[in-house]
Copies of this chain bind each other. A is one copy, B any other.
Amino acid sequence: MKIAIVGLGLIGGSLAKAIKKNTQHSVYAIDTDKETIRSAIEQEAIDEEITADELKMCDLTIICLYPEGIVEFVRENAGKFKKGSIVIDSCGVKTAVTYPCENILEDYGVRFLGCHPMAGREFSGFDYSVDNLFDKASFIITQTPNTKTQLVATVGNLAYEIGFRKVVVSTPEEHDRIIAFTSQLAHIVSSAYVKSPSLTKQSGFSAGSFKDLTRVAKLNEDMWTSLFLLNKDPLVDEISHIIDRLTEYKNAIETENADELKELLKNGRELKELSNNMSLER
């Protein structure tokens, strides 16, 4: 299969490297940065650079741009994809991307599937891409009422072939609700965490818990601003929820209510244990 990747950032670059390492497919790439293309060819992450006009030779196009960029790219190049081919994306919000892209491409006989490879790093760009980023990751596919099951099978099997550990099939709406909690809230909380006046004194006073809680505060603010605003309602709900929970702990400590505090902590421990037992991360 001939695969085109649009955007060789951390995710696009890592997908290219994983495909070249784990499959026999050819990889072609479009990127506005010539240095990135040069570097990708040199590292054998891609076979060749192509132009948008050459997308017509590709069976699958993976668009690895920011959310707005994906819809824009699809709109501007809708007539250039091969008829009957598949276009997927890799961004972290699905409702705002999947329906517009699906609608645009339907008229051109091109099948769109909104996807989300669940991995990342606290660095951006091709220079940080690695061929094993997805080895322990799940690959989320979002189905709409128009999605043919055969399309899910083709893309899902490719994800396993690329090296993903698990394929999860969801809907754009369900994906966005859950991701608000598992990923977006984590970045907000981490970013808020480091703003304490105590931050500048933490050296030598921190162990694993501080490191874990603050790791993802080192984020790409352009990308995350876009992701957060495109998933406003579920994310605002999650932030409100954690604020309410934090207030419960604060009240129990302020009133020195040991029984209440212990119960709050015990409930949290039990929920974490359940989540460990239910989860991939086990």
Residues of A that sit less than 8 Å from B by CB: 118-120, 137-138, 140, 166, 168, 170, 174-175, 177-183, 185-219, 221-222, 224-225, 228-229, 232, 235-236, 238-243, 245-250, 253-254, 256, 258, 261-262, 264-269, 271-276, 278-281
Q: How many chain copies does the complex carry? A: 2
Residue of B with least CB distance to A167:
B204
Interchain CA distance A183-B198 in the complex, whole Å: 12
Q: Report the minimal beta-carbon distance from A168 to chain B, rounded to whole angstroms.
A: 4
- CB contacts (< 8 Å) of A168 on chain B: these are 204-205
**Contact of A268 with B206 in the complex, beta carbons under 8 Å:** no
- CB contacts (< 8 Å) of A185 on chain B: these are 193, 196, 213
**Contact of B236 with A247 in the complex, beta carbons under 8 Å:** no
**Contact of A217 with B183 in the complex, beta carbons under 8 Å:** no
Interchain CA distance A71-B17 in the complex, whole Å: 58
**Contact of B229 with A256 in the complex, beta carbons under 8 Å:** yes
Interchain CA distance A195-B240 in the complex, whole Å: 12
Known contacts being A188-B249, A249-B188, A249-B239, is A268 close to B195, with CB within 8 Å?
yes
Residue of B with least CB distance to A187:
B209
**Contact of A262 with B182 in the complex, beta carbons under 8 Å:** no
- CB contacts (< 8 Å) of A267 on chain B: these are 195
Query: Could you list some 14 contacts between A and B, CB below 8 A?
Result: A118-B206, A119-B207, A170-B205, A183-B210, A192-B248, A192-B249, A195-B267, A197-B241, A199-B275, A203-B278, A212-B215, A212-B216, A221-B265, A222-B262
Contact residue among B119, B170, B202 (Cβ-Cβ distance under 8 Å from A279)? B202
Interface centre among A119, A138, A200, A271 (most CB of B within 10 A): A271
Residue of B with least CB distance to A180:
B198
Interchain CA distance A192-B268 in the complex, whole Å: 7
Contact residue among B119, B137, B272 (Cβ-Cβ distance under 8 Å from A214)? B272
Interchain CA distance A187-B193 in the complex, whole Å: 12
Known contacts being A192-B246, A216-B212, is A202 close to B221, with CB within 8 Å?
no
Residue of B with least CB distance to A178:
B205
Which 9 pairs, one residue from A and one from B, show the smallest C-beta to C-beta distance?
A191-B268, A181-B198, A186-B209, A168-B204, A217-B272, A221-B265, A192-B245, A182-B206, A212-B212
